[in-house]
């Protein structure tokens, strides 16, 4: 039987427009003691310097000498927002260059808005290097090959298998593992009319079971449980969601709030309009709680996903 984990994989597959998320190996690694931070504004003789302030496109200047062989994280300026947890979904502006190169292989500043991504779905240098820093911070991250694109590199970006890659990252927003929709969202569907029984109030992590005897869906559908007051989602945006999912026979449950063994969990990110079950949530306000159902496949029953919409970019 297909596992509910395929919901995460399907969501990630819809993010091909963000280069950093394409073909990244080793991204499931958690925080590591290899990560070092030189502190806010501290100088480092063996790291590049970056021009500009938070939110401004930087220019990197590389020092003479070889790149560090381990992961290095320097706080160029420290924000006063929430601390980013492992597994968070993060909106960030960034620029990436191969060590010593004069040009970037990817950057978000020219696109006019940050990119949204799960720290479970990016290069391991980001997975390890961004947690424990605060929203509003500008980081300089030097990533050795084994925590970047590995020995195969990334030919499309001009990254070789022995290349160290360097990023300037501005952390704009973060959605952490325990985050939920609005506690004061407006209830629009009587819980007694739902095909599931939910445990967990609005504004709190939730679980649910499909009611005995409930008819399996004849089509994919969205049920709006409670409407938030945030921005209305639209096709073409990236959305961060907290979720709990199961099959119609109540097997294979997975939750972003209660990670499975060996996983940090956390919100997932999907491109709205990218062909996933989360496309059903287009037109729903941020802060809402909804129930999504996808049809049965040849090897699994219908899928049911309880979703809190955390944010969009």
Cα–Cα dist 12/105, whole Å = 21
Measured between alpha carbons, how far is 243 from 252 in angstroms, rounded to an integer? 14
What pLDDT score does 8 carry? 58
- pLDDT at residue 7 in the model: 57
Helix (H), strand (E) at residue 13: helix 5-13
Report all structural domains of the chain as residue ranges with CATH numbers, in order of start. Answer: 5-175 (3.10.50.40), 186-312 (3.10.50.40)
pLDDT at 19: 42
**Radius of gyration for the alpha carbons in the chain, expressed in angstroms and rounded:** 20
Tell me the pLDDT of the chain (313 aa) as tens digits: 444 435 554 454 433 333 454 333 333 332 232 334 443 334 445 899 999 999 999 999 999 999 999 999 999 999 999 999 999 999 999 999 999 999 999 999 999 999 999 998 899 999 999 999 999 999 999 999 999 999 999 998 899 999 999 999 999 999 999 999 999 999 999 999 999 999 999 999 999 999 999 999 999 999 999 999 999 999 999 999 999 999 999 998 899 998 776 667 799 999 999 988 999 999 999 999 999 998 888 888 899 999 999 999 9
Identify the bridge partners of residue 60 per DSSP, sorted by sequence position.
50
CA gap 85, 297 in Å, rounded: 35
Whole-angstrom Cα distance, residue 307 to residue 285? 12
CB count, 10 Å around CB of 291? 20
Q: Give the model's pLDDT for residue 13.
A: 40
- For 108, the 3-state DSSP assignment is coil
Q: Which residue from 109, 44, 42, 49 is spatially nearest to 77, judged by alpha carbons?
A: 42
What's this model's pTM, rounded to 2 decimal places?
0.86
């Amino acid at each position: 039987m297909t596992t509910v984990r395929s919901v995460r994989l399907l969501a990630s597959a819809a993010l091909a427009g963000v280069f950093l998320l394409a073909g990244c190996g080793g991204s499931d690694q958690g925080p590591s003691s290899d990560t070092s931070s030189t502190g806010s504004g501290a100088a480092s003789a063996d790291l590049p310097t970056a021009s500009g302030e938070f939110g401004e496109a930087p220019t990197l200047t590389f020092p003479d000498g070889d790149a560090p062989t381990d992961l290095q994280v320097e706080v160029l300026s420290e924000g006063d927002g929430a601390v980013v947890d492992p597994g968070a979904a993060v909106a960030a502006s960034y620029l990436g260059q191969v060590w010593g190169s004069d040009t970037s292989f990817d950057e978000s500043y020219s696109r006019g808005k940050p990119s949204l991504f799960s720290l479970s779905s990016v290069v391991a240098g980001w997975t390890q290097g961004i947690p424990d820093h605060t929203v509003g911070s500008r980081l300089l991250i030097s990533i050795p090959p084994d925590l970047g694109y590995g020995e195969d590199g990334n030919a499309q970006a001009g990254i070789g298998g022995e290349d160290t890659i360097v990023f300037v990252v501005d952390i704009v927003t973060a959605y952490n593992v325990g985050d939920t929709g609005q506690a004061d969202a407006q209830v629009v569907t009587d819980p007694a009319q739902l095909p599931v029984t939910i445990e967990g109030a609005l504004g709190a992590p939730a679980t649910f079971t499909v009611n005995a005897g409930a008819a399996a869906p004849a089509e994919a559908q969205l049920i709006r449980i409670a409407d938030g007051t945030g921005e209305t989602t639209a096709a073409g945006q990236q959305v961060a969601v907290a979720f709990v999912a199961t099959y119609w026979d109540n097997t294979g449950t997975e939750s972003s709030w209660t990670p499975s063994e060996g996983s940090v969990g956390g919100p997932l990110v999907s491109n709205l309009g990218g062909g996933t079950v989360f496309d059903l949530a287009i037109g729903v306000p941020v802060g809402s709680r909804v129930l999504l159902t996808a049809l049965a496949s040849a090897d699994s029953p219908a899928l049911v996903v309880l979703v809190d919409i955390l944010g969009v970019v």
